[in-house]
Structure 1
Amino acid sequence: MTTTEIGAVPYDPYNLGRGQPDLSPGHGAGGPASKRVIVAYGFWIFLLSDIILFSAFFASYAVLSGQTAGGPSGREIFDLRNVGVETACLLLSSFTCGMSALAAGARNKPAFHAALLVTFALGAVFLTLELREFAGLVAAGNGPQRSAFLSAFFALVGCHGLHVTAGMLWLLTMIAQVFAKGFRADMLRRVLCFNLFWHALDIIWVAVFTVVYLLGAGP
C-alpha cells in the first residue's frame, strides 16, 4: 500500500489501512445527518422565508391601517363573530392535523385519513367564511381599490387564505399518497413537513386575528 505524508499523519484516501485515521472529506465524527433531519432543516428554511414574506405584509398593513381615504375603518366593517368562528375552525384544525402525525407514527391508516379529512373540512369552513367576508366587502363598495387600508387588508388576509388553499391541496395529495404507498420513510417525512406548514399557518393567523381584527375593531 502506497501512502503519502500530510504533516505527521499518513494519508490513505481509500481507508485501506484500517488502523489509520480516515481523513477523507464529507463525514464528521457521527457520520452524515439522516435524510429526515436534512429535509426538516430545509423545510424550516422555507418556513422562515415565508414568515419574512408575511412580516412585510404586516409592516405594510401597520403603516397603511389608518389611510382610509374617507372610507370605512376596520371598526365599521369587521364582524368579530364571523372571524371568531374562522379562528376556532383553524385552531381546531391544528389539533386534528397533529393527531394525523400521531396516527402516522403509529402506522394507523384509518385514524390518519380520518384526522386529515377533518382537517380538510375545517379548512374548507375557514375559507368559505373568509370568501364570504371578502364578497360582502366588495359588494358594499369596500374592495381593495377603495383605500390603502383596504388594499393592505386584502393583501395580508388574502395571502394567508392562498396559503391555506395550497395546504388543503397538499393535504389531499398526502391522503392519496399514503393510501397508495403506505407509511414509507419518504411519506413520513412529507407528513412531518405538512404538519410544520399547517401549524405555521395557524400561528400566522393568530397574529392576523390580533393585529388586524381585534386591534382594528377597537376604539
Structure 2
Amino acid sequence: MTATTINAQSNVSPDQLRAAFYELEEHHHPEGGSTMLGFWIYLMSDCLIFAMLFAAYGVLGGNLAAGPGPKDLFDLKLIALNTAMLLFSSITYGFAMLAMEKNDRARTQLWLLVTAAFGAAFLFIELYEFSHLIHEGATPMRSGFLTAFFSLVGTHGLHVTFGLIWLFTLVIQISKKGLIPANKRRLMCLSLFWHFLDVIWIGVFTFVYLMGML
C-alpha cells in the first residue's frame, strides 16, 4: 500500500506519515538512584584498573635496568606543589557543590572554573615533569620501573583530562539550562569522580614518590 493510498484513506498528511517512523521529542529519563548506582559501578571498575597499575608498579618498581631510579629523577618540591593543586581543586569543587545546594548558578559556575584552573595547573606540572624526564633520557622504554611509572601516573593524568572536559561541558550546560535536576545529578557524579582522583593521587604520591625517595 502506497503512502498516497494511506493518506487518502486516513486523512494523514505526508509530514505526519514520515514522523511516524521516528520520534521528534527527546525522551525524558526519570531521575533517581539508578544513575548514581551505575556511576558507583563505573568507579569500582576504575578502582580495579588503578589496583592493577599499582600492582604492576610494585612488581616492576625495582627493575631499573642499570638506569636512573626515583632518587635520581623525582623532584619532591615540584610534586608537592602538584599535589597541592589537585587538593585545592577538590576544596573548590566542594564550594561549587555548596553553591549548587543554594541554587546559586553564578557561584556554582565560578567555583567550577576555579576548580578547572587548579586541575589545569596540575596537568601542566605533570606534563612538565614528563617532558623533563624524557629529555633526561628516562623514557618509558628505558626500564621496567619507568614503564610502570609512566603507565600509572599517565593514566591518572588522562583521567584528570577527561574530568576537565566534563567540567567545562557542565559549565556550558548550566549556562544554557540552569541548575535543573539533571545538571545537579551530573554535578554529583563529577564530584564523586573528582574526589576519587584525589584519593588515587594521594596513593600515587605516597607509594611512588615518597616511598621511592626513601
**Same-fold call, TM cutoff 0.5:** yes
Q: Kindly provide the CA deviation profile for residues 67-119 of structure 1, in whole angstroms up to 9, marking residues without a partner as x.
A: 00000111110000000000001001001111111111111011101100110
Which of 85, 90, 94 does residue 86 from structure 2 map onto?
A: 90
The structure in which a higher percent of residues are helix is 2
Q: Find the counterpart in structure 1 of residue 68 from structure 2.
A: 72
Note the residue ranges of structure 2 that are not aligned, 5 or more in a row: 1-29
User: 1:27-66, aligned counterparts within 5 Å?
Assistant: 35-66=31-62
Distance in 2 of aligned mates of 1:38 and 1:103? 25
Distance in 2 of aligned mates of 1:212 and 1:115? 31
Alpha-carbon deviation of 1:64? 0.3
Distance in 2 of aligned mates of 1:187 and 1:52? 28
Are residue 111 (structure 1) and residue 114 (structure 2) matched? no
Distance in 2 of aligned mates of 1:36 and 1:172? 24
Distance in 1 of aligned mates of 2:145 and 2:93? 34
Are residue 172 (structure 1) and residue 168 (structure 2) matched? yes
Q: Find the counterpart in structure 2 of residue 161 from structure 1.
A: 157
Which of 140, 146, 159 does residue 144 from structure 1 map onto?
A: 140
Identity of aligned residues (%): 47
Q: Find the counterpart in structure 1 of residue 129 from structure 2.
A: 133
SS at match of 2:32: helix
Distance in 2 of aligned mates of 1:36 and 1:113? 24
Alpha-carbon deviation of 1:185? 1.0
Alpha-carbon deviation of 1:35? 3.0
Distance in 2 of aligned mates of 1:36 and 1:121? 31
Q: Kindly provide the CA deviation profile for residues 20-51 of structure 1, in whole angstroms up to 9, marking residues without a partner as x.
A: xxxxxxxxxxxxxx733211111000001001
Distance in 2 of aligned mates of 1:36 and 1:75? 49
Q: Find the counterpart in structure 1 of residue 189 from structure 2.
A: 193
Distance in 1 of aligned mates of 2:31 and 2:110? 28
How many residues in Structure 1 have an aligned counterpart in Structure 2? 185
Q: Find the counterpart in structure 2 of residue 203 from structure 1.
A: 199
Distance in 1 of aligned mates of 2:174 and 2:204? 33
User: What TM-score do the two structures reach when normalised by structure 2?
Assistant: 0.85
Distance in 2 of aligned mates of 1:77 and 1:151? 14
Note the residue ranges of structure 1 that are not aligned, 5 or more in a row: 1-33
Root-mean-square deviation (Å): 0.8
Distance in 1 of aligned mates of 2:211 and 2:32? 40
Q: Find the counterpart in structure 1 of residue 7 from structure 2.
A: none
User: What TM-score do the two structures reach when normalised by structure 1?
Assistant: 0.83
Alpha-carbon deviation of 1:179? 0.7
